Amino acid sequence: MWSEVRNLRDAIDVGTPPREGPPVSLRVDGVAVTVPAGSSIMLAAAHAGRSIPKLCATDLLEPYGSCRVCLVEIEGRQGYPASCTTVVAEGMEVRTRTPTVSRLRRNVLQLYLSDFPPGEIPGGWSELHEVLKAEEVNSHPYGAGENHFDAPVDASNPYFLFDPSKCIVCSRCVRACQEVQGTFALTISGRGFASKVAAGQDQSFFESECVSCGACVQACPSHALVEKSLFEGDYTRAESNQT
């Protein structure tokens, strides 16, 4: 169903919604590409065959720019902007995989892993795991610290569960609930380390305004929100011997 909504060939998620406008020509990693004005660099890169890693971005939702995995270099500009929220410009020269960009991208992913259950890293099949595999990141250099590993699982909904220990607070579920379903049942509450996805007035999913449409589950890149039917018996987190 979601591939039909996107109207994409081969069900490829180009990261941000398509735009309509006059043609804009640019180069991505030396590949010439032309896209409508208002398009993101991420979308242009996808059309140029230069896929950029992403976690908070999807072409079903408006760009958000929170995960910082999709950063790029733009010739003549300072810094490393998020490709999902940066709009193309005529003659732009974009580089998606320089040594600096790759190093910064790995650093960001390692930070995510520092608060992700170690036992859930091997063998995962979520978008996050695919990005980790593509960027060759499977561990982090940080010692033990505050984490959400013991956060209780919300299995109150009959169709899906929410494991906050695997949530990367990318807001894709919240945005899908708002932009796709229009229910506004989810929010991000708290700030900094205390930030979390909250259903309703910090209720269980079953007690909240959630209508079980599944938009949040489809949008989640880390399987923090996941269908119960994928598991035999009760859901349990993978154990790990990591200290």
Residue 241 pLDDT > 80, yes or no?
no
pLDDT digits (tens, 9 = 90+) for 95-148: 999 999 999 999 999 999 999 999 999 989 999 999 999 999 999 999 888 999
pLDDT, position 10: 54
Residue 7 pLDDT > 80, yes or no?
no
pTM: 0.90
Cα separation, 176 vs 186, in Å, equals: 9
pLDDT digits (tens, 9 = 90+) for 224-234: 999 999 988 88
The tokens of 111 are what?
Answer: 């930070």
The tokens of 46 are what?
Answer: 């996808």
Choose among 132, 129, 202: nearest CA to 164: 202
pLDDT, position 142: 92
Q: Quick one: average pLDDT of 63-72?
A: 96
Cβ atoms of 29 and 48 within 8 Å: the answer is yes
Residue type, 172: R
Choose among 123, 193, 205: nearest CA to 162: 205
Length of the chain: 243
Name the residue with higher pLDDT: 6 or 134: 134
Domains with residue ranges and CATH for the chain: 2-97 (3.10.20.740), 115-243 (3.30.70.20)
pLDDT, position 234: 86
**In this structure, is the dihedral angle defined by the CA atoms of residues 2, 229, 156 and 113, taken in order, positive or negative?**
negative
Contacts of 163 (CB under 8 A, 6+ apart): 151, 153, 223, 224, 226, 235, 237
Residue 212 pLDDT > 70, yes or no?
yes
Cα separation, 14 vs 39, in Å, equals: 11
Residue 2 pLDDT > 80, yes or no?
no
Q: Identify the bridge partners of residue 189 per DSSP, sorted by sequence position.
A: 196
